[in-house]
Copies of this chain bind each other. A is one copy, B any other.
């Protein structure tokens, strides 16, 4: 059911998908859905929360350490590898924020903030090491995430590039952006 909801919501948007459509996709009647979620809002929020928690847990598991460039490369490659196969979830997590209640929004937003902070920490470390040239670590962190996220707008599994190839291209872009190519 979550999987069906993710697919439909990513494709049409939360407000544009009815509980009946989700039920039909699962092969069940509407009422049955309410055995699994108290309401539509909770369902949406739980999808986003699960995704973000998953993201943070996997980042943690990467256990990045060592020099800032090494960590940045690890972060960038992790981000792509994790998000590309989850483009529906990523899309939802960015687009449906506005449909959350204030409390749910705050919850998701703080998880996203945690993720951004991790990247910012790497950038600051790189500044300290004197290997990165960065004007503003906070903005650069968000800009890099936008850059990396861009891939989900055009990526198609049947496209001309392999995931490894894409990973390499984007890592080169990131590397240059933090002034690491000179």
Q: Interface of A with B (CB < 8 Å)?
A: 11-16, 95, 98-99, 133, 135-136, 139-140, 142-147, 149-151, 153-154, 161, 166, 168-170, 172-174, 176-179, 181-182
Contact = CB atoms under 8 A, between A and B. Distances in A.
B140 A169 contact: yes
A171 to B, nearest CB: 10
Given A142-B150, A142-B154, A11 B98 contact: yes
**Residues of A contacting B: mostly:** helix
Q: How many identical chains are in the complex?
A: 2
Given A12-B98, A177-B176, A182-B182, A143 B147 contact: yes
A153 B112 CA distance: 13
The winner among A147, A166, A172 for most chain B CB atoms within 10 A is A147
